[in-house]
Amino acid sequence: MEKNERDFGMTSLPVVGLVSKSSLRIHSLGEVDELSSHIGLLTAILPESCSDLLQKLECIQRTLFATGAVLSGSNKCGKYTAFINNTLHDLEQWKAAYEEEAGALSGFIIPSGHTASCQAHICRSVCRRTERSIVSLCEQESDIEDITKYILPFINTLSNFFFTVVRVINKRLKIGEKEYE
């Protein structure tokens, strides 16, 4: 069996070349991948009353793949950043509509409720961790314009979207929110 760089803690990215698997770029890619996996689980357990979320969540997963392409240094960034920007615009509209449906929030809420709601909380917190990882990458590297202009606003809005999804799922299932007192 032939050995290559990947057997020794290195991997190859388009344009960027060989990088350590412990680099912030690879760490950020892993966070994006984990977030997409958690969204996949959320789609699998969504109750029937929330089926309108399925297409939106699939769109988000596709956008996360585009995000990964930009993070990996793809030479087709223009194509991917336009897609990310379009999804960001959609995400803001979806979030506003779901905020209206969920109603006013009077305080902090404790993650609880339906299994899908709890999974949406996990998506939200993994999304926040992903954002922190990408911010660290931006602080370390220099050629990051596409990341700061497109990816960070998308990821930040996405975590807020998941918080709204949490509330909508529980509301549709008539499960009260547990407020922190």
- Closest C-alpha to 147, from 16, 19, 43: 16
Give this prediction's pTM: 0.92
Distances (CA, A) of 71 to 76, 125, 135: 11, 20, 12
Task: Name the superfamily (CATH) of residues 25-175.
Answer: Cobalamin adenosyltransferase-like (1.20.1200.10)
**pLDDT confidence of residue 27:** 97
pLDDT given for residue 114 in this prediction:
97
What pLDDT was estimated at residue 5? Answer: 54
CA nearest to 61, candidates 92, 82, 40:
40
What is the distance between the terminal CA atoms of the chain, rounded to a whole angstrom?
60
Q: What is the pLDDT of residue 1?
A: 41
Three-state SS for 177?
A: coil
For residue 131, give the nearest of 95, 112, 159 by alpha carbon. Answer: 159
Q: What secondary structure does DSSP assign to 105-124, as a single string?
A: --S-EES-SSHHHHHHHHHH
The Cα-based distances of 105 to 18, 102, 113, 163 in angstroms read 47, 8, 16, 11
Query: Which two structure tokens, joined as six digits, stand for 112?
Result: 């609880």
Return per-residue pLDDT of the chain as tens, 181 residues. 456 655 688 888 887 788 999 999 999 999 999 999 999 999 999 999 999 999 999 999 999 999 999 999 876 778 899 999 999 999 999 999 999 999 998 899 999 999 999 999 999 999 999 999 999 999 998 878 889 999 999 999 999 999 999 999 999 999 999 989 8
Q: Give domain limits for the chain.
A: 25-175
